[in-house]
Amino acid sequence: MYELHFLSSAKKEFARLDTVAQKIIKEKLLLLVTNPDILKNNIKALKGEYKGKFRLRINQYRVVFQVKEDILVIVVIRVGRRKEVY
């Protein structure tokens, strides 16, 4: 099982979302840390500015994250609507 860490900027972005979106995203992130294979259809490796990172698609929201396999940590980098994240 992975640990979940947020960058301070990602925490602020998450806090700005409405409570319904926060609840949905929180549920998906908990699934991600316990069993990432369940969400594999919604996870995609990113290119360009975010090369080496991944995005999790949750309805109209995107969570950009990085996986640190050696210490079993998932670091959330960005959270928001698609048009705001990219």
Q: What is the CATH classification number for the domain harbouring 49?
A: 3.30.2310.20
Q: Say which of 11, 16, 44, 82 is annotated catalytic.
A: 82
Count up the domains in the chain and report the number: 1
What is d(CA 72, CA 81) in angstroms, rounded to the nearest whole number? 27
Both tokens of residue 34? 């316990």
Is-contact 24 18, C-beta < 8 A?
no
* pLDDT tens figures, 13-64: 999 999 999 999 999 999 999 988 888 899 999 999 999 999 999 999 999 9
Give residue 36's pLDDT. Answer: 82
Q: Say which of 16, 51, 81, 83 is annotated catalytic.
A: 51
Tell me, yes or no, if 82 is annotated catalytic. Answer: yes
What is d(CA 32, CA 38) in angstroms, rounded to the nearest whole number? 8
Give residue 70's pLDDT. Answer: 87
Give residue 44's pLDDT. Answer: 96
Range of the domain at 31: 3-85
Tell me, yes or no, if 28 is annotated catalytic. Answer: no
- pTM of this structure: 0.91
Give residue 69's pLDDT. Answer: 86
